[in-house]
Structure 1
Amino acid sequence: MLRKIKRDLDHYYLHQVGGAFFYAIMLSLALNYFWLPGHVYSSGFTGLAQLIDTLTGGKVNVAWAIAIVNMPLLVLAWLTLSKRFAIFTAMAVLLSAAFVPLFATKTVLTPDPLINAIFGGGINGMAVGTALRCGVGTGGLDIIGMELKHQFRMKVGSVNLAFNALIMIGAGLTYGWQYALYSIIGVVVSAHFIDVFYTHQQQIQEMIVTNKPEEMTDTIQNKMRRGVTIIDSAHGGYTGRDRSILLTVVTQHELPELRHAIKEVDPHAFYSESKVEHTGGRFYEPEP
Protein backbone atom coordinates (compact mmCIF):
# COMPACT_ATOMS: atom_id res chain seq x y z
CA MET A 1 0.00 0.00 0.00
CA LEU A 2 2.76 2.41 0.98
CA ARG A 3 4.67 1.57 -2.18
CA LYS A 4 1.60 2.35 -4.29
CA ILE A 5 1.14 5.73 -2.56
CA LYS A 6 4.82 6.55 -3.06
CA ARG A 7 4.61 5.51 -6.72
CA ASP A 8 1.54 7.70 -7.27
CA LEU A 9 3.23 10.68 -5.58
CA ASP A 10 6.39 10.21 -7.62
CA HIS A 11 4.32 10.09 -10.81
CA TYR A 12 2.40 13.22 -9.75
CA TYR A 13 5.50 15.27 -9.00
CA LEU A 14 7.26 14.01 -12.12
CA HIS A 15 4.21 15.23 -14.05
CA GLN A 16 4.61 18.71 -12.56
CA VAL A 17 8.37 18.85 -13.13
CA GLY A 18 7.80 17.85 -16.76
CA GLY A 19 5.16 20.58 -17.09
CA ALA A 20 7.58 23.19 -15.74
CA PHE A 21 10.33 22.16 -18.17
CA PHE A 22 7.92 22.02 -21.12
CA TYR A 23 6.60 25.51 -20.35
CA ALA A 24 10.09 27.00 -20.01
CA ILE A 25 11.34 25.49 -23.27
CA MET A 26 8.29 26.44 -25.33
CA LEU A 27 8.19 30.00 -23.92
CA SER A 28 11.87 30.43 -24.80
CA LEU A 29 11.22 29.25 -28.36
CA ALA A 30 8.23 31.56 -28.75
CA LEU A 31 10.19 34.50 -27.42
CA ASN A 32 13.42 34.02 -29.35
CA TYR A 33 12.08 32.79 -32.68
CA PHE A 34 8.85 34.77 -33.00
CA TRP A 35 8.14 37.60 -30.55
CA LEU A 36 11.54 39.31 -30.47
CA PRO A 37 12.23 39.11 -34.25
CA GLY A 38 8.66 40.24 -35.01
CA HIS A 39 8.65 43.10 -32.43
CA VAL A 40 5.59 41.44 -30.92
CA TYR A 41 4.77 41.62 -27.20
CA SER A 42 3.40 38.76 -25.17
CA SER A 43 0.57 39.11 -22.68
CA GLY A 44 0.98 39.06 -18.91
CA PHE A 45 4.27 39.30 -17.07
CA THR A 46 6.28 37.99 -20.01
CA GLY A 47 5.10 41.02 -21.96
CA LEU A 48 6.00 43.19 -18.96
CA ALA A 49 9.50 41.67 -18.97
CA GLN A 50 9.83 42.49 -22.68
CA LEU A 51 8.72 46.06 -21.97
CA ILE A 52 11.27 46.42 -19.14
CA ASP A 53 14.00 45.14 -21.47
CA THR A 54 13.01 47.73 -24.08
CA LEU A 55 12.70 50.65 -21.66
CA THR A 56 16.08 49.93 -20.03
CA GLY A 57 17.80 49.52 -23.38
CA GLY A 58 18.66 45.91 -22.56
CA LYS A 59 20.34 46.70 -19.22
CA VAL A 60 17.69 44.51 -17.59
CA ASN A 61 17.20 41.81 -20.20
CA VAL A 62 14.07 39.72 -20.63
CA ALA A 63 15.42 36.75 -18.67
CA TRP A 64 16.30 38.83 -15.60
CA ALA A 65 13.06 40.78 -15.87
CA ILE A 66 10.98 37.55 -15.91
CA ALA A 67 12.60 36.47 -12.65
CA ILE A 68 12.46 39.89 -10.97
CA VAL A 69 8.81 40.76 -11.67
CA ASN A 70 7.62 37.33 -10.55
CA MET A 71 9.53 37.09 -7.25
CA PRO A 72 7.10 39.13 -5.09
CA LEU A 73 4.15 37.13 -6.41
CA LEU A 74 5.90 33.81 -5.77
CA VAL A 75 6.42 34.85 -2.15
CA LEU A 76 2.74 35.80 -1.96
CA ALA A 77 1.71 32.42 -3.40
CA TRP A 78 3.92 30.64 -0.84
CA LEU A 79 2.29 32.52 2.04
CA THR A 80 -1.36 32.52 0.99
CA LEU A 81 -2.04 29.83 -1.62
CA SER A 82 -0.05 26.60 -1.58
CA LYS A 83 3.59 25.88 -0.92
CA ARG A 84 3.60 23.07 -3.48
CA PHE A 85 2.05 25.36 -6.10
CA ALA A 86 4.56 28.12 -5.26
CA ILE A 87 7.52 25.72 -5.56
CA PHE A 88 6.58 24.36 -8.98
CA THR A 89 5.58 27.80 -10.25
CA ALA A 90 8.96 29.14 -9.11
CA MET A 91 10.57 26.24 -10.97
CA ALA A 92 8.72 27.17 -14.18
CA VAL A 93 9.65 30.86 -13.82
CA LEU A 94 13.32 30.26 -13.04
CA LEU A 95 13.69 27.67 -15.80
CA SER A 96 12.16 30.20 -18.20
CA ALA A 97 14.66 32.84 -17.11
CA ALA A 98 17.49 30.32 -17.63
CA PHE A 99 16.30 28.97 -20.99
CA VAL A 100 15.58 32.33 -22.66
CA PRO A 101 19.30 33.18 -23.11
CA LEU A 102 20.09 29.50 -23.75
CA PHE A 103 17.78 29.45 -26.78
CA ALA A 104 18.80 32.92 -27.98
CA THR A 105 19.40 33.02 -31.74
CA LYS A 106 20.12 35.43 -34.55
CA THR A 107 18.08 33.28 -36.94
CA VAL A 108 14.98 35.07 -38.26
CA LEU A 109 12.45 32.57 -39.53
CA THR A 110 10.30 35.34 -40.99
CA PRO A 111 10.19 39.13 -40.62
CA ASP A 112 6.39 39.11 -40.99
CA PRO A 113 5.00 40.36 -37.65
CA LEU A 114 1.60 38.77 -38.27
CA ILE A 115 3.06 35.28 -38.68
CA ASN A 116 5.29 35.86 -35.65
CA ALA A 117 2.29 36.97 -33.58
CA ILE A 118 0.18 33.95 -34.57
CA PHE A 119 2.82 31.27 -34.11
CA GLY A 120 4.34 32.86 -31.02
CA GLY A 121 0.89 33.16 -29.45
CA GLY A 122 0.03 29.56 -30.38
CA ILE A 123 3.22 28.15 -28.88
CA ASN A 124 2.82 30.23 -25.73
CA GLY A 125 -0.84 29.21 -25.31
CA MET A 126 0.08 25.55 -25.70
CA ALA A 127 2.87 25.97 -23.13
CA VAL A 128 0.71 27.79 -20.56
CA GLY A 129 -2.28 25.45 -21.02
CA THR A 130 -0.11 22.35 -20.66
CA ALA A 131 1.63 23.73 -17.56
CA LEU A 132 -1.68 24.57 -15.90
CA ARG A 133 -3.00 21.13 -16.80
CA CYS A 134 0.02 19.63 -15.02
CA GLY A 135 -0.71 21.72 -11.92
CA VAL A 136 2.07 24.22 -12.56
CA GLY A 137 1.48 27.97 -12.56
CA THR A 138 3.39 30.25 -14.89
CA GLY A 139 3.64 33.19 -12.50
CA GLY A 140 2.35 36.70 -12.98
CA LEU A 141 -1.34 36.94 -13.79
CA ASP A 142 -1.90 33.28 -12.86
CA ILE A 143 -1.05 34.07 -9.24
CA ILE A 144 -2.94 37.36 -9.24
CA GLY A 145 -6.02 35.62 -10.64
CA MET A 146 -5.86 32.84 -8.06
CA GLU A 147 -5.38 35.35 -5.23
CA LEU A 148 -8.40 37.41 -6.27
CA LYS A 149 -10.51 34.28 -6.65
CA HIS A 150 -9.31 32.77 -3.38
CA GLN A 151 -9.46 35.89 -1.22
CA PHE A 152 -12.30 37.92 -2.72
CA ARG A 153 -14.21 35.52 -5.05
CA MET A 154 -13.60 38.05 -7.81
CA LYS A 155 -13.59 37.43 -11.54
CA VAL A 156 -10.22 38.30 -13.02
CA GLY A 157 -11.15 38.98 -16.62
CA SER A 158 -11.17 42.75 -16.18
CA VAL A 159 -7.83 42.67 -14.34
CA ASN A 160 -6.20 40.64 -17.11
CA LEU A 161 -7.71 42.91 -19.75
CA ALA A 162 -6.48 46.10 -18.06
CA PHE A 163 -2.97 44.72 -17.50
CA ASN A 164 -2.61 43.46 -21.06
CA ALA A 165 -3.97 46.75 -22.40
CA LEU A 166 -1.04 48.53 -20.74
CA ILE A 167 1.40 46.08 -22.35
CA MET A 168 -0.16 46.66 -25.78
CA ILE A 169 0.09 50.44 -25.29
CA GLY A 170 3.76 49.94 -24.47
CA ALA A 171 4.18 47.96 -27.69
CA GLY A 172 2.50 50.73 -29.66
CA LEU A 173 4.65 53.47 -28.14
CA THR A 174 7.84 51.47 -28.66
CA TYR A 175 7.51 49.97 -32.13
CA GLY A 176 4.46 51.68 -33.61
CA TRP A 177 0.76 51.08 -33.25
CA GLN A 178 0.63 48.46 -35.98
CA TYR A 179 2.80 46.25 -33.76
CA ALA A 180 0.40 46.78 -30.87
CA LEU A 181 -2.34 45.40 -33.12
CA TYR A 182 -0.17 42.43 -34.08
CA SER A 183 0.48 41.83 -30.37
CA ILE A 184 -3.26 41.81 -29.68
CA ILE A 185 -3.68 39.11 -32.34
CA GLY A 186 -0.98 37.09 -30.59
CA VAL A 187 -2.76 37.49 -27.24
CA VAL A 188 -6.06 36.26 -28.72
CA VAL A 189 -4.38 33.23 -30.32
CA SER A 190 -2.60 32.46 -27.06
CA ALA A 191 -5.86 32.64 -25.07
CA HIS A 192 -7.54 30.24 -27.51
CA PHE A 193 -4.76 27.68 -27.22
CA ILE A 194 -4.79 27.94 -23.42
CA ASP A 195 -8.48 26.99 -23.47
CA VAL A 196 -7.75 24.06 -25.78
CA PHE A 197 -4.97 22.60 -23.64
CA TYR A 198 -6.14 23.58 -20.14
CA THR A 199 -9.16 21.34 -19.75
CA HIS A 200 -9.51 21.65 -15.95
CA GLN A 201 -11.51 24.85 -16.27
CA GLN A 202 -14.01 23.41 -18.78
CA GLN A 203 -17.02 21.90 -17.02
CA ILE A 204 -19.18 19.09 -18.40
CA GLN A 205 -22.60 17.93 -17.21
CA GLU A 206 -23.04 14.17 -17.33
CA MET A 207 -26.48 12.53 -17.46
CA ILE A 208 -26.39 8.82 -16.67
CA VAL A 209 -29.35 6.45 -17.08
CA THR A 210 -28.76 3.28 -15.05
CA ASN A 211 -30.42 0.61 -12.95
CA LYS A 212 -27.57 0.74 -10.41
CA PRO A 213 -27.90 4.29 -9.02
CA GLU A 214 -26.49 3.63 -5.54
CA GLU A 215 -23.37 1.80 -6.77
CA MET A 216 -22.80 4.44 -9.46
CA THR A 217 -23.17 7.27 -6.94
CA ASP A 218 -20.77 5.67 -4.45
CA THR A 219 -18.15 5.12 -7.15
CA ILE A 220 -18.32 8.70 -8.45
CA GLN A 221 -18.32 10.27 -5.00
CA ASN A 222 -15.53 8.12 -3.59
CA LYS A 223 -13.22 8.10 -6.61
CA MET A 224 -13.81 11.60 -7.96
CA ARG A 225 -15.22 13.60 -5.05
CA ARG A 226 -18.10 14.83 -7.18
CA GLY A 227 -21.68 15.27 -6.03
CA VAL A 228 -24.47 13.36 -7.74
CA THR A 229 -28.19 14.12 -8.01
CA ILE A 230 -30.45 11.06 -8.40
CA ILE A 231 -33.80 11.27 -10.21
CA ASP A 232 -35.77 8.11 -9.43
CA SER A 233 -38.66 6.45 -11.26
CA ALA A 234 -37.61 7.38 -14.79
CA HIS A 235 -39.40 5.15 -17.30
CA GLY A 236 -37.75 3.78 -20.45
CA GLY A 237 -39.91 4.50 -23.48
CA TYR A 238 -38.50 1.58 -25.49
CA THR A 239 -37.83 -1.04 -22.80
CA GLY A 240 -40.75 -0.11 -20.56
CA ARG A 241 -38.51 -0.59 -17.53
CA ASP A 242 -37.84 1.76 -14.65
CA ARG A 243 -34.44 3.40 -14.47
CA SER A 244 -32.75 6.11 -12.44
CA ILE A 245 -31.17 9.23 -13.91
CA LEU A 246 -27.98 10.58 -12.33
CA LEU A 247 -26.74 14.11 -12.90
CA THR A 248 -23.23 15.26 -12.08
CA VAL A 249 -20.79 17.95 -13.23
CA VAL A 250 -17.08 17.27 -13.77
CA THR A 251 -14.22 18.99 -15.54
CA GLN A 252 -13.17 18.06 -19.07
CA HIS A 253 -9.98 16.66 -17.59
CA GLU A 254 -11.97 14.24 -15.41
CA LEU A 255 -14.12 12.85 -18.24
CA PRO A 256 -11.98 9.77 -19.01
CA GLU A 257 -12.03 8.80 -15.33
CA LEU A 258 -15.81 9.30 -15.15
CA ARG A 259 -16.43 7.24 -18.30
CA HIS A 260 -14.28 4.45 -16.90
CA ALA A 261 -16.26 4.53 -13.63
CA ILE A 262 -19.57 4.33 -15.50
CA LYS A 263 -18.49 1.30 -17.55
CA GLU A 264 -17.02 -0.36 -14.48
CA VAL A 265 -20.31 -0.16 -12.52
CA ASP A 266 -22.84 -0.59 -15.34
CA PRO A 267 -21.56 -1.43 -18.84
CA HIS A 268 -25.12 -1.06 -20.20
CA ALA A 269 -25.71 2.43 -18.77
CA PHE A 270 -26.68 5.20 -21.19
CA TYR A 271 -24.93 8.53 -20.67
CA SER A 272 -24.74 11.86 -22.45
CA GLU A 273 -22.50 14.92 -21.99
CA SER A 274 -23.03 18.64 -22.49
CA LYS A 275 -20.87 21.68 -21.84
CA VAL A 276 -21.68 23.86 -18.84
CA GLU A 277 -21.44 27.63 -19.11
CA HIS A 278 -21.66 28.37 -15.40
CA THR A 279 -22.03 26.60 -12.07
CA GLY A 280 -23.14 27.99 -8.72
CA GLY A 281 -23.06 26.59 -5.21
CA ARG A 282 -20.26 24.35 -4.03
CA PHE A 283 -18.39 22.95 -7.01
CA TYR A 284 -15.28 21.26 -5.66
CA GLU A 285 -12.01 22.68 -6.91
CA PRO A 286 -8.80 21.03 -5.70
CA GLU A 287 -6.15 23.22 -4.12
CA PRO A 288 -3.39 24.37 -6.48
Structure 2
Amino acid sequence: MSIAKSINKAWKDYMWIIIGSIITAASINIFLVPYKIAPGGVSGLATVVYYLSQYRLPVGATMLALNLPLFIAGIRLVGRRFIVRTLLSTVLLSVIVDFTEPFTQIFVDKYLASPEQVYSTPDLLLYAIFGGGMMGVGLGLVFKYGATTGGSDLAARIVNHFRPNLTMGQILLVVDTSVIIFAAVAFKSFIIALYAIVALYVSSKVIDAILEGINFAKAVFIISDKSDKIAQRILDELDRGVTALNGTGMYTGSHKKVLMCVLHRGQLEQLKEIAAMEDEKAFIILADIREVLGEGFKTYTM
Protein backbone atom coordinates (compact mmCIF):
# COMPACT_ATOMS: atom_id res chain seq x y z
CA MET A 1 0.00 0.00 0.00
CA SER A 2 1.35 3.44 -0.92
CA ILE A 3 1.97 6.13 1.69
CA ALA A 4 -0.90 8.24 0.33
CA LYS A 5 -3.38 5.35 0.57
CA SER A 6 -2.10 4.49 4.04
CA ILE A 7 -2.63 8.05 5.27
CA ASN A 8 -6.07 8.21 3.65
CA LYS A 9 -7.08 4.94 5.31
CA ALA A 10 -5.81 6.16 8.71
CA TRP A 11 -7.88 9.36 8.45
CA LYS A 12 -10.92 7.35 7.45
CA ASP A 13 -10.45 5.03 10.42
CA TYR A 14 -10.10 7.92 12.87
CA MET A 15 -13.20 9.59 11.43
CA TRP A 16 -15.29 6.47 12.07
CA ILE A 17 -13.80 6.10 15.56
CA ILE A 18 -14.90 9.66 16.34
CA ILE A 19 -18.40 9.04 14.93
CA GLY A 20 -18.68 5.81 16.93
CA SER A 21 -17.63 7.63 20.12
CA ILE A 22 -20.26 10.32 19.54
CA ILE A 23 -23.01 7.73 19.02
CA THR A 24 -21.94 5.85 22.15
CA ALA A 25 -21.92 9.05 24.22
CA ALA A 26 -25.42 9.91 22.97
CA SER A 27 -26.75 6.50 24.02
CA ILE A 28 -25.22 6.92 27.49
CA ASN A 29 -26.55 10.44 28.08
CA ILE A 30 -29.99 10.06 26.52
CA PHE A 31 -31.17 6.52 27.22
CA LEU A 32 -29.00 4.93 29.92
CA VAL A 33 -27.65 7.17 32.68
CA PRO A 34 -30.87 9.22 33.23
CA TYR A 35 -32.77 6.02 33.97
CA LYS A 36 -30.06 4.15 35.93
CA ILE A 37 -29.65 1.55 33.19
CA ALA A 38 -26.12 0.22 33.59
CA PRO A 39 -25.45 -2.35 30.85
CA GLY A 40 -21.98 -3.26 32.04
CA GLY A 41 -18.61 -1.70 31.29
CA VAL A 42 -17.06 1.36 32.85
CA SER A 43 -20.09 3.38 31.76
CA GLY A 44 -22.22 1.12 33.96
CA LEU A 45 -19.83 1.48 36.89
CA ALA A 46 -19.67 5.24 36.32
CA THR A 47 -23.48 5.37 36.37
CA VAL A 48 -23.54 3.69 39.78
CA VAL A 49 -20.84 6.04 41.10
CA TYR A 50 -22.77 9.02 39.73
CA TYR A 51 -25.90 8.17 41.70
CA LEU A 52 -24.18 6.97 44.87
CA SER A 53 -21.67 9.82 45.17
CA GLN A 54 -22.70 12.81 47.25
CA TYR A 55 -21.57 15.35 44.65
CA ARG A 56 -22.73 13.47 41.52
CA LEU A 57 -19.28 12.91 40.03
CA PRO A 58 -19.32 13.44 36.22
CA VAL A 59 -19.85 10.19 34.37
CA GLY A 60 -17.20 10.91 31.72
CA ALA A 61 -14.48 11.79 34.24
CA THR A 62 -15.28 8.67 36.27
CA MET A 63 -15.07 6.53 33.13
CA LEU A 64 -11.64 7.96 32.33
CA ALA A 65 -10.37 7.28 35.87
CA LEU A 66 -11.67 3.69 35.80
CA ASN A 67 -10.05 3.11 32.41
CA LEU A 68 -6.50 3.90 33.51
CA PRO A 69 -5.63 0.46 35.01
CA LEU A 70 -6.95 -1.43 31.97
CA PHE A 71 -5.22 0.96 29.62
CA ILE A 72 -1.89 0.38 31.34
CA ALA A 73 -2.44 -3.37 31.07
CA GLY A 74 -3.34 -3.01 27.41
CA ILE A 75 -0.06 -1.26 26.61
CA ARG A 76 1.83 -4.46 27.41
CA LEU A 77 -0.53 -6.83 25.63
CA VAL A 78 -1.46 -5.18 22.34
CA GLY A 79 0.30 -3.18 19.66
CA ARG A 80 1.20 0.49 19.62
CA ARG A 81 -1.22 1.28 16.77
CA PHE A 82 -4.12 -0.22 18.70
CA ILE A 83 -3.17 1.60 21.92
CA VAL A 84 -2.97 4.99 20.19
CA ARG A 85 -6.43 4.56 18.70
CA THR A 86 -7.83 3.26 21.99
CA LEU A 87 -6.37 6.21 23.90
CA LEU A 88 -8.01 8.56 21.41
CA SER A 89 -11.44 6.93 21.61
CA THR A 90 -11.29 6.50 25.41
CA VAL A 91 -10.45 10.14 26.11
CA LEU A 92 -12.79 11.32 23.36
CA LEU A 93 -15.76 9.36 24.69
CA SER A 94 -15.22 10.60 28.25
CA VAL A 95 -14.94 14.22 27.10
CA ILE A 96 -17.99 13.97 24.81
CA VAL A 97 -20.11 12.38 27.56
CA ASP A 98 -19.46 15.24 29.99
CA PHE A 99 -19.47 18.00 27.36
CA THR A 100 -22.81 16.99 25.81
CA GLU A 101 -24.56 16.06 29.05
CA PRO A 102 -26.21 19.49 29.57
CA PHE A 103 -27.52 19.50 25.99
CA THR A 104 -28.76 15.90 26.04
CA GLN A 105 -30.43 16.56 29.39
CA ILE A 106 -32.53 19.26 27.73
CA PHE A 107 -33.60 16.69 25.11
CA VAL A 108 -34.41 14.13 27.81
CA ASP A 109 -36.47 16.62 29.84
CA LYS A 110 -38.38 17.84 26.78
CA TYR A 111 -39.06 14.67 24.81
CA LEU A 112 -38.66 11.68 27.16
CA ALA A 113 -40.36 10.66 30.37
CA SER A 114 -38.86 11.83 33.63
CA PRO A 115 -37.00 9.22 35.72
CA GLU A 116 -39.90 9.26 38.19
CA GLN A 117 -42.53 8.67 35.50
CA VAL A 118 -40.69 6.08 33.45
CA TYR A 119 -40.81 3.30 36.05
CA SER A 120 -44.61 3.24 35.87
CA THR A 121 -44.71 3.10 32.05
CA PRO A 122 -43.46 0.69 29.35
CA ASP A 123 -41.05 3.40 28.13
CA LEU A 124 -38.11 1.99 30.08
CA LEU A 125 -38.07 -1.09 27.87
CA LEU A 126 -37.92 1.11 24.77
CA TYR A 127 -35.10 3.13 26.29
CA ALA A 128 -33.17 -0.05 27.11
CA ILE A 129 -33.60 -1.36 23.56
CA PHE A 130 -32.74 1.91 21.80
CA GLY A 131 -29.96 2.70 24.25
CA GLY A 132 -28.43 -0.73 23.79
CA GLY A 133 -28.84 -0.51 20.01
CA MET A 134 -27.20 2.91 19.78
CA MET A 135 -24.37 1.80 22.04
CA GLY A 136 -23.88 -1.30 19.89
CA VAL A 137 -23.65 0.81 16.74
CA GLY A 138 -21.16 3.18 18.34
CA LEU A 139 -18.97 0.48 19.87
CA GLY A 140 -19.19 -1.64 16.72
CA LEU A 141 -17.81 1.23 14.63
CA VAL A 142 -15.01 1.85 17.12
CA PHE A 143 -14.09 -1.86 17.17
CA LYS A 144 -14.33 -2.18 13.42
CA TYR A 145 -11.75 0.52 12.85
CA GLY A 146 -9.13 -0.76 15.25
CA ALA A 147 -9.86 0.73 18.69
CA THR A 148 -12.02 0.35 21.79
CA THR A 149 -13.56 2.84 24.21
CA GLY A 150 -11.65 1.33 27.12
CA GLY A 151 -13.11 -0.51 30.10
CA SER A 152 -14.71 -3.85 29.39
CA ASP A 153 -14.33 -3.05 25.67
CA LEU A 154 -10.55 -2.97 26.10
CA ALA A 155 -10.72 -6.07 28.31
CA ALA A 156 -12.75 -7.83 25.60
CA ARG A 157 -10.23 -6.81 22.95
CA ILE A 158 -7.37 -8.16 25.07
CA VAL A 159 -9.19 -11.48 25.59
CA ASN A 160 -10.06 -11.61 21.88
CA HIS A 161 -6.35 -11.10 21.10
CA PHE A 162 -5.59 -14.40 22.85
CA ARG A 163 -8.91 -16.18 22.13
CA PRO A 164 -9.94 -15.19 18.58
CA ASN A 165 -12.55 -17.95 18.54
CA LEU A 166 -14.67 -15.82 20.88
CA THR A 167 -16.45 -12.84 19.36
CA MET A 168 -16.21 -9.39 20.89
CA GLY A 169 -19.93 -9.44 21.64
CA GLN A 170 -19.71 -12.77 23.49
CA ILE A 171 -16.81 -11.61 25.64
CA LEU A 172 -18.54 -8.36 26.50
CA LEU A 173 -21.70 -10.27 27.43
CA VAL A 174 -19.78 -12.34 30.00
CA VAL A 175 -17.62 -9.53 31.40
CA ASP A 176 -20.46 -7.03 31.75
CA THR A 177 -22.79 -9.39 33.62
CA SER A 178 -20.88 -8.80 36.84
CA VAL A 179 -21.29 -5.03 36.42
CA ILE A 180 -25.06 -5.44 36.01
CA ILE A 181 -25.24 -7.51 39.21
CA PHE A 182 -23.27 -4.83 41.05
CA ALA A 183 -25.63 -2.12 39.75
CA ALA A 184 -28.68 -4.15 40.80
CA VAL A 185 -27.34 -4.44 44.34
CA ALA A 186 -26.33 -0.76 44.46
CA PHE A 187 -29.71 0.50 43.20
CA LYS A 188 -31.63 -2.20 45.11
CA SER A 189 -33.69 -2.91 42.02
CA PHE A 190 -33.98 -6.24 40.26
CA ILE A 191 -36.19 -4.64 37.58
CA ILE A 192 -33.50 -2.16 36.53
CA ALA A 193 -31.05 -5.06 36.27
CA LEU A 194 -33.42 -6.84 33.88
CA TYR A 195 -33.64 -3.77 31.66
CA ALA A 196 -29.84 -3.48 31.76
CA ILE A 197 -29.59 -7.09 30.56
CA VAL A 198 -31.91 -6.22 27.64
CA ALA A 199 -29.72 -3.26 26.71
CA LEU A 200 -26.56 -5.37 27.00
CA TYR A 201 -28.01 -8.17 24.86
CA VAL A 202 -29.13 -5.77 22.12
CA SER A 203 -25.76 -4.03 22.21
CA SER A 204 -23.79 -7.28 21.88
CA LYS A 205 -25.89 -8.43 18.92
CA VAL A 206 -25.50 -5.12 17.11
CA ILE A 207 -21.73 -5.20 17.73
CA ASP A 208 -21.45 -8.68 16.20
CA ALA A 209 -23.61 -7.64 13.24
CA ILE A 210 -21.33 -4.69 12.48
CA LEU A 211 -18.08 -6.62 12.97
CA GLU A 212 -19.09 -9.82 11.19
CA GLY A 213 -21.80 -8.64 8.83
CA ILE A 214 -25.49 -9.45 8.67
CA ASN A 215 -26.78 -12.72 7.22
CA PHE A 216 -27.84 -11.34 3.86
CA ALA A 217 -26.65 -14.21 1.66
CA LYS A 218 -26.76 -17.99 1.41
CA ALA A 219 -24.20 -20.50 0.26
CA VAL A 220 -25.77 -23.47 -1.56
CA PHE A 221 -24.14 -26.82 -2.27
CA ILE A 222 -25.97 -29.11 -4.72
CA ILE A 223 -25.13 -32.77 -5.38
CA SER A 224 -26.96 -34.17 -8.38
CA ASP A 225 -26.59 -36.46 -11.38
CA LYS A 226 -27.86 -33.56 -13.50
CA SER A 227 -25.50 -30.92 -12.18
CA ASP A 228 -24.69 -29.56 -15.64
CA LYS A 229 -28.32 -28.70 -16.39
CA ILE A 230 -28.87 -27.20 -12.94
CA ALA A 231 -25.71 -25.11 -13.24
CA GLN A 232 -26.70 -23.77 -16.64
CA ARG A 233 -30.15 -22.72 -15.43
CA ILE A 234 -28.62 -20.96 -12.42
CA LEU A 235 -26.30 -19.05 -14.75
CA ASP A 236 -29.11 -18.13 -17.15
CA GLU A 237 -32.06 -17.51 -14.83
CA LEU A 238 -30.46 -16.28 -11.61
CA ASP A 239 -27.42 -14.62 -13.14
CA ARG A 240 -25.23 -16.14 -10.44
CA GLY A 241 -21.86 -17.78 -10.82
CA VAL A 242 -21.54 -21.49 -10.09
CA THR A 243 -18.43 -23.45 -9.18
CA ALA A 244 -18.20 -27.20 -9.76
CA LEU A 245 -16.22 -29.14 -7.18
CA ASN A 246 -15.14 -32.74 -7.65
CA GLY A 247 -16.77 -35.02 -5.09
CA THR A 248 -16.66 -38.72 -4.34
CA GLY A 249 -19.37 -40.62 -2.46
CA MET A 250 -17.45 -42.66 0.10
CA TYR A 251 -20.23 -45.26 0.42
CA THR A 252 -20.85 -45.85 -3.31
CA GLY A 253 -17.43 -44.76 -4.59
CA SER A 254 -19.14 -42.80 -7.39
CA HIS A 255 -17.76 -39.48 -8.64
CA LYS A 256 -20.08 -36.49 -8.86
CA LYS A 257 -19.89 -32.76 -9.35
CA VAL A 258 -20.75 -30.67 -6.31
CA LEU A 259 -22.15 -27.28 -7.31
CA MET A 260 -21.38 -24.32 -5.07
CA CYS A 261 -23.29 -21.08 -5.46
CA VAL A 262 -23.64 -17.92 -3.33
CA LEU A 263 -26.83 -15.91 -3.78
CA HIS A 264 -29.12 -13.44 -2.09
CA ARG A 265 -31.80 -14.87 0.16
CA GLY A 266 -34.54 -13.62 -2.15
CA GLN A 267 -33.27 -15.98 -4.88
CA LEU A 268 -33.23 -19.06 -2.67
CA GLU A 269 -36.73 -20.34 -3.48
CA GLN A 270 -36.14 -19.96 -7.21
CA LEU A 271 -32.95 -22.00 -6.94
CA LYS A 272 -34.79 -24.74 -5.05
CA GLU A 273 -37.40 -24.88 -7.79
CA ILE A 274 -34.73 -25.17 -10.48
CA ALA A 275 -33.01 -28.02 -8.65
CA ALA A 276 -36.31 -29.84 -8.01
CA MET A 277 -37.45 -29.49 -11.64
CA GLU A 278 -34.20 -30.92 -13.00
CA ASP A 279 -33.62 -33.59 -10.35
CA GLU A 280 -36.12 -34.43 -7.60
CA LYS A 281 -33.39 -36.42 -5.82
CA ALA A 282 -30.91 -33.54 -5.77
CA PHE A 283 -29.15 -33.15 -2.41
CA ILE A 284 -29.06 -29.48 -1.33
CA ILE A 285 -27.08 -27.99 1.55
CA LEU A 286 -27.76 -24.41 2.69
CA ALA A 287 -25.43 -22.30 4.84
CA ASP A 288 -25.70 -18.76 6.20
CA ILE A 289 -23.06 -16.32 4.98
CA ARG A 290 -21.97 -13.42 7.18
CA GLU A 291 -20.28 -11.41 4.47
CA VAL A 292 -19.53 -11.81 0.75
CA LEU A 293 -16.89 -9.81 -1.08
CA GLY A 294 -16.72 -9.94 -4.85
CA GLU A 295 -18.67 -9.45 -8.04
CA GLY A 296 -22.39 -9.12 -7.49
CA PHE A 297 -21.98 -8.51 -3.77
CA LYS A 298 -20.03 -6.13 -1.56
CA THR A 299 -16.91 -4.53 -3.05
CA TYR A 300 -13.87 -4.54 -0.80
CA THR A 301 -12.17 -1.15 -0.56
CA MET A 302 -9.11 -0.18 1.44
TM range (shorter): 0.5 to 0.7
- Secondary structure in structure 2 of the residue aligned to 1:258: coil
In structure 1, C-alpha distance between the alignment counterparts of 2:60 and 2:27, rounded to whole Å: 13
Partner residue of 1:258?
A: 294
> Contact 1:89 / 1:137 at 8 angstroms: preserved in 2?
yes
- Secondary structure in structure 2 of the residue aligned to 1:68: helix
Deviation of 1:79 (Å):
2.2
Is 1:165 matched with 2:162?
no
Partner residue of 2:236?
A: none
> Contact 1:168 / 1:183 at 8 angstroms: preserved in 2?
yes
Aligned residues: 233
Relative to the length of structure 2, the TM-score reads 0.63
- Where structure 2 has 5 or more consecutive residues not aligned to the other structure, the ranges are 119-123, 223-243, 249-255, 263-288
In structure 2, C-alpha distance between the alignment counterparts of 1:161 and 1:262, rounded to whole Å: 29
2:197 maps to amino acid: I
Deviation of 1:179 (Å):
1.2
1:166 maps to amino acid: S
Is 1:183 matched with 2:219?
no
In structure 2, C-alpha distance between the alignment counterparts of 1:206 and 1:188, rounded to whole Å: 28
Is 1:87 matched with 2:84?
yes
Deviation of 1:206 (Å):
6.3
Residues 60 and 78 of structure 1: CA distance in aligned 2, closer, same or farther (over 3 Å) = same
> Contact 2:61 / 2:98 at 8 angstroms: preserved in 1?
no
What aligned pairs does 1:1-288 form with structure 2 within 5 A after superposition?
Answer: 5-58=2-55, 60-105=57-102, 106-107=105-106, 108=109, 109-111=111-113, 112=118, 113-151=124-162, 155=166, 160-175=172-187, 176-199=189-212, 231-232=245-246, 252=290, 255=292, 257-259=293-295
2:29 maps to amino acid: N
> Contact 1:77 / 1:83 at 8 angstroms: preserved in 2?
no
Percentage identity across aligned positions? 20
Residues 182 and 24 of structure 1: CA distance in aligned 2, closer, same or farther (over 3 Å) = same
2:206 maps to amino acid: F
- Where structure 1 has 5 or more consecutive residues not aligned to the other structure, the ranges are 210-229, 235-241, 264-288
Larger radius of gyration: 2
Relative to the length of structure 1, the TM-score reads 0.66
In structure 2, C-alpha distance between the alignment counterparts of 1:66 and 1:78, rounded to whole Å: 18
- Secondary structure in structure 2 of the residue aligned to 1:91: helix
Deviation of 1:231 (Å):
4.2
Over aligned residues, Cα RMSD in angstroms?
3.9
